[in-house]
Amino acid sequence: MKNKKIEAELEFKELIKSPVRLFGLIFPYFFILFLIVGIYFVKHLDYLTFNQVPPVLTDSLYNRTLPDVKIKKGSLKAAVDLSTISNASGEIIKKGKELFAKNCTACHGPTGKGDGAAAAALKPPPRNFHKLQGWTNGNHFSEIYKTLQDGVKGTGMSAYDYIPAADRIAIIQYVRTMAKYPPVTQKEITELDKKYNLSKGEYTPSNITIEMATKKILEENSIPKDKINNYLTKLNSTQNQEVTDLLNNYVADKTKMLMIFTRDFSTEKDVNKFINRVINSPMESGFKTSVTSLSVEKLKKIFNLLTKIVG
């Protein structure tokens, strides 16, 4: 039998000479390309779903310095007798003098003239309480209280909010003896009380930075690594091949799955809670999203296997 030369339907040399003929192939060509992208899309559905998780902050802002929570000691502010604001008794002024000597003299000086030991280094210089002009927040009782509460930005005057409210009032009353300050009106007292809850008292919790809080949560929730490694070995050497295969098909991250299981289900052993969790947040539980297609029976089998391993 003679070898018959097979003739090509397409002459590729001619195609290069006249590329317009290539246009005949454009639709199958694009169809194949669409198909490739489509297959790639379907293969990565798990990632696509996971990438939709909205983060708390957005984009490149994360790398910029974000204001953190400042460390602050909490306090329990005792209720204040409002009459100590309108009527400054000798006892209160005496207490105020002692507190002034302890907290304020370093900058404001022993007589309140703004000539303390640290005054030379401060810009602007500390307030002279014997003069009533040029006060940043004002020299009324409520305004001095605000200064003690919040401090004055851009100056050396920091907030003294950790001093109990009654003590702060005593200090103000002492300061007010140094010059002829404006009298305190009932309206001012009412507003002050409304703003700072003086007559009721207030509990302020302590604050720690986000980093410290994160560390604390980690310490409280961490599970020893060797324990998990032990579970992993147990899981890999289990005899129940059917359930192991089932698990292997639907697990995304074995370590994560075992950790979540140990933390949340090892003590309670609540199968319904487990199924609920896996179906509602598979990725967060260490499973693939496709696990949601499993029947309840199969999920129960997985639960039993994990319970057996974690013990």
CB of 54 to another protein, least distance (A): 8
CB of 240 to another protein, least distance (A): 25
For residue 168, give the H/E element and its range: helix 165-175
Residue type, 227: K
Provide the sign of the torsion angle of the four alpha carbons 146, 147, 153, 159, taken in this order: negative
With CA atoms as reference, report the closest residue to 196 among 146, 244, 154. Answer: 146
Residue whose CB is less far from another protein, 228 or 246: 228
Residue whose CB is less far from another protein, 94 or 263: 263
Binding region for another protein (CB under 8 A) out of 190-198, 243-251, 255-263, 302-310: 255-263
In 36-96, beta strands by DSSP E: 75-77
With CA atoms as reference, report the closest residue to 93 among 39, 154, 169, 162. Answer: 169
For residue 202, give the H/E element and its range: strand 202-204
Site size toward another protein (CB under 8 A) is 41
CB of 92 to another protein, least distance (A): 45
- Binding to another protein by residue 36, rule CB under 8 A? yes
Kindly state the tokens that stand for 174: 């002492």
Residues 6+ apart with CB under 8 A from 200: 79
Kindly state the tokens that stand for 298: 């199969």
State residue 197 phi and psi, 5-degree precision: 55, 40
With CA atoms as reference, report the closest residue to 21 among 35, 10, 30. Answer: 10
CB environment 4-24: b (16+ within 10 A), e (fewer): eeeeeeeeeeeeeeeeeeeee
* Site mask for another protein (CB under 8 A), range 41-60, x = bound: x--x--xx--xxxxxxxxxx
* Site mask for another protein (CB under 8 A), range 258-277, x = bound: -x---x--------------
Among 10, 11, 34, 68, binds another protein (CB under 8 A): 34
Cα three-residue angle 147-148-153, rounded to 5 degrees: 50
Residue whose CB is less far from another protein, 36 or 159: 36
Residue whose CB is less far from another protein, 53 or 76: 53
CB of 14 to another protein, least distance (A): 14
* Site mask for another protein (CB under 8 A), range 192-231, x = bound: ----------------------x--xx--xxx----x---
CA distance 235 to 247: 10
Residue whose CB is less far from another protein, 61 or 76: 61
CB of 156 to another protein, least distance (A): 27
With CA atoms as reference, report the closest residue to 122 among 156, 172, 75, 173. Answer: 156
Among 3, 63, 206, 267, binds another protein (CB under 8 A): 63
Residue whose CB is less far from another protein, 92 or 228: 228
Residue whose CB is less far from another protein, 50 or 135: 50
CB of 18 to another protein, least distance (A): 9
Residues that bind another protein (CB under 8 A): 19-20, 22-23, 26, 29-30, 33-34, 36-37, 40-41, 44, 47-48, 51-64, 214, 217-218, 221-223, 228, 255-256, 259, 263
